[in-house]
Every structure is written in C-alpha cells, then in structure tokens.
Amino acid sequence: MKNEMKQAALDYHSKPAPGKIAVVPTKPCETQQDLSLAYSPGVAEPVREIAKDPEAAYRYTNKGNLVAVISNGTAILGLGNRGSLASKPVLEGKAVLFKRFANIDVFDIEIDAPDRDSFIDTVAYIAPTFGGINLEDIAAPECFAIEEMLRARLDIPVFHDDQHGTAVIICAGLLNALELQGKKLPEARIVLLGAGAAGLATMQLLIALGAKRERMLLLDSQGVIHPGRPDLNIYKRRYAQVTDKRTLADAMQGADVFIGVSAGNVVSPEMVASMAPRPVVFALANPDPEIRPELANAVRRDLIMATGRSDYPNQVNNVLGFPYIFRGALDVHASSVSRAMLVGAVHALARLAHDPVPAEVLRAYGLERLEFGPEYIIPKPLDPRLIKTIPPAVARAAVDSGVARAGYPAHYPAP
C-alpha cells in the first residue's frame, strides 16, 4: 500500500476515537421513571418472562438483532496467523458493515483460546446473548470442525463467513461472468487456488450449482491436489483429481476460470495468457490479489476480472453476503443457515446485477453509467437495493427448508 494510504488507514482507525464502533442505548434514560423501567425494579419483569420462556428473549432483549463476530486470528485476511487481538480491526470492520448495510448490531469477540475445544466451549458458553454467530478469519482445517461442532451444539445460525459468505458471492459473480463470456458452469474448466476456508466452501457450492467436479482442479500452497499426495487432510482429499498437472502454471493452461482465495501475487501474466479464450479471473486474496488487474488486463483483452477490493471494478467480496444473509436469518429466527438459503442468496445477487443501476449508486462511486457487462458482474456494496432483495430470498428459503422458527416476515415483499 502507498505510504499516504497507509497513514490514512491508520488515521481513520485512530481518530477522532480509537476503533470503528460503539454501543449506544435504544431507549431514553433521562428520568427517574426511565431508570425504574430500564433498571431496578422494572428490569425484573422481562427477566421473569425469559426464565419462563426463552423465546421471550427475542421480544424483551436485543438478542434477535445481535450477532457475535468471532475470531481467533489464525487467518486474518491473507495475512496469516497474527493472533486474536490483531483480528480486532477486521472484526470491528465487519461490525460496521453489519450495521451500515443491515442495521444489525454486533459485538466483536476476539478469543485467545489455547486449543480448538476451549475455543468451541467459549463460543458455546456466550451464545445465549446472540441471535447468530459469525465466525471470521479462522484458519482451515480447524475452521471446519469448529463450525460443524458449534452448529450441532447451538440452535442459532453459526456461519463461517470466509467459507459460506465468500462462496455465495463467488458463485453469483461467476454465474454472471460466464453468462457474459458465453459459457456455462457445467462445461467450464475451473482452477481454484486456495484449499482453505474460502476455497473448499466454494468448491462445494459450485458443485451444488452444477459445476462438474471432473472439470475442476483445486490447488494449495504445494500445487495441484491429486490422489497421489500424501499430505492431504480429509477436506482437501474429497476434491483430489486424477491428473498429470502438478503446478499452477500447468493447471492454468486452457482453463476457463481462475478463482484465487490464497495469497497475493502468486499468479503471473504468463499464466493468465495461457488460459482459454474469454477467461474469467477472480483474484480474491486480500489485501493483495493473486494478480493485479492491470497486469492481467495487459495480457488479455477478452478477460473478465474481479478482486476482493473496493478500488477496482467487480468487487467480489463477502460484504455482499453476510449482512443480508444474517438479516434474513434473524428475521425468521432461523436455527441455522441451510444450503437452500445460500443458493437463494446466490440467485438473488446474480439477478440484481442485471437490473438498471440507480442514480445513488452511480453517485456513490463517482460513475456516469454502469450496466451489466464485463466491468459490472455483481452489485456494488453501496447498492441500497441489496437490503430489499437478498434478505427476502434468504428468509423465504429458510422457511421452505424448515429452519425458520418464525414465519416469513409481514414487512417483507410478498413471496
């Protein structure tokens, strides 16, 4: 990052108050009567109600609009294991986005647990406070067992954003990019670099949407994942492909799609040049993409390119997912986030990019025009239509897939 941008980022985080989020009351607390209601003796009444019926917590507390964003700091963006405290700026950032885009309140919780089971226990012990748990920046493969065990133990949505949020946005963006390139998902040859949280969840969702496993190659830091590798964990082994390709350069030759959720600057212009005609390159590592758009665009004019960043066209980033998926899930008191809810979000997002872009979005990005095409495959994060379209699709899918404990909300558009 350039020096002035570095300083601007540090200033943004430190001034006028350190950090990015605060807690504010939602009720007046100005008079003796207010105090008597908010605190003793009034507070005893909702306590009695909740003790009788836990569902009453959704009526008398902020549980139904409060999400815990939790990390142990083991895979912070693409910066690796930097410890739980260093994940706090990212978690505060997620909190800002939850509030800004979906009016959901967040407590960011950085857990310094000595091992996996104490991390899981800590999350489970604090879960009653929240309507949902968003796990963030927890390294693979531990993240898979952590999420699985917490989902089994808790009756609120437990959602590892780097897995499922990322997978939803990648799938939505890819469906549109392939449409523009005149290609179809089941026929596309896909190279996916990064076999961690984001990569493996993306493989799974792409296959659920129709991508063909035998046309996909998954790679990690050691190269192509094939059955002859002795070092594969069980999660990677599921996607091992019989092939004579071994390196990223081998895999990229003739590929229709490259998806990177790995590390910065690991793809060369020569690799992009070797891809099939009309390729799609999603270089999504943060903060530095696998290849910068200017380098990729210099070698291909027929390319559709996306990154995870806000400063290039086509931002494929889970910010387009987690606020709205949780909004829909919270509004129907979902007990979990089902596959159907993820698929509902994919299609709603992909569809929205085809619609005319409102003037306020153009203003927010300083653009004169923007329409569905190679530089606009997915809605912009500052698009106010997202909150109107994604949560209803998610809520409807929650009701249909049997994980909703409340009905489809009356204030949502008719299904």
Give the footprint of Mg ion on this chain (CB under 5 A).
Answer: 137, 162
Interface stretch with ligand NDP, choices 16-24, 90-98, 313-321, 354-362 (CB under 6 A): 313-321
Q: Smaller CB distance to ligand NDP: residue 261 or 394?
A: 261
In the bound state with Mg ion, the residue whose beta carbon lies nearer, of 224 and 261, is 261
- The verdict on 192 binding ligand NDP (CB under 6 A) reads no
Determine if 162 is a binding residue for ligand CC(=O)C(=O)O (CB under 6 A): yes
Q: Of ligand NDP, ligand CC(=O)C(=O)O, Mg ion, none, which one sits near residue 84, judging by CB under 5 to 8 A according to partner kind?
A: none
Rounded Cα gap, residues 335 and 341, in angstroms? 12
> What does the block give as tokens for 296?
């990729």
Tell which residue, 219, 201, 203, has the closest CA to residue 211. 203
Please tell me which residue in 20, 63, 94, 236 is annotated as part of the active site. 94
Residue closer to ligand NDP (CB basis): 181 or 315: 315
Kindly state the smallest distance separating residue 91's Cβ from Mg ion, in Å.
9
| 12, 246, 367, 374 from 358: Cα distances, Å | 29, 46, 11, 18
Crossing angle, helix 339-352 and helix 386-400, to 10 degrees? Answer: 150
Q: Which is nearer to ligand NDP, 21 or 139 (CB)?
A: 139
CA dist 1 and 64 (Å) reads 39
Q: Residue 381: CB partners within 8 Å, gap ≥ 6?
A: 101, 310, 315, 317, 319, 320
How far from the centroid of its chain's Cα atoms is residue 219's Cα? 21
- Determine which one of 6, 39, 184, 388 is catalytic: 39
The site map against ligand NDP for 150-189 (x = CB under 6 A) is ------------x---x-----------------------
What does residue 130 show for φ and ψ, rounded to 5 degrees? -115, 155
Considering only residues 55 through 84, tell me which ones interact with ligand CC(=O)C(=O)O, judged by CB under 6 A. Answer: 77
Tokens of 150: 């917490």
CB closer to ligand NDP out of 33 and 265 = 265
Q: Is 295 buried (19+), middle (13-18) or exposed (0-12) by CB count in 10 A?
A: middle
Instruction: Report the site for ligand NDP in 265-284 (rule: CB under 6 A).
Output: 266, 284
- Say whether residue 134 binds ligand CC(=O)C(=O)O (CB under 6 A): no
Provide the minimum distance between the beta carbon of 162 and Mg ion in the complex, in angstroms, as a whole number: 4
Of residues 92, 108, 110, 137, which one binds ligand CC(=O)C(=O)O by CB under 6 A? 137
261 binds, among Mg ion, ligand NDP, ligand CC(=O)C(=O)O, none (CB under 5 to 8 A by kind): ligand NDP
39 is catalytic: yes
Our finding on whether 286 is near ligand CC(=O)C(=O)O (CB under 6 A) is yes
Residues present in the chain in total: 415
Output the smallest distance, CB 170 to ligand CC(=O)C(=O)O, in A: 12
- 33 versus 221: smaller Cβ distance to ligand NDP: 221
Nearest-angstrom CA–CA distance, 57 and 306: 42
Omega before residue 141 within 30° of 0, cis: yes
Q: In the annotation, is 2 catalytic?
A: no
Give the one residue of 317, 336, 338, 389 binding ligand NDP; rule: CB under 6 A.
Answer: 317
The single residue among 69, 75, 350, 397 that binds ligand NDP, judged by CB under 6 A, is 75
User: With CB under 6 A as the contact rule, which of the stretches 37-45, 196-204, 237-245, 379-387 interacts with ligand NDP?
Assistant: 196-204
Residues 290-349 that bind ligand CC(=O)C(=O)O (CB under 6 A): 308, 317-318
Catalytic positions, written as ranges: 39, 94
List residues near ligand CC(=O)C(=O)O by CB under 6 A.
77, 137, 161-162, 286, 308, 317-318
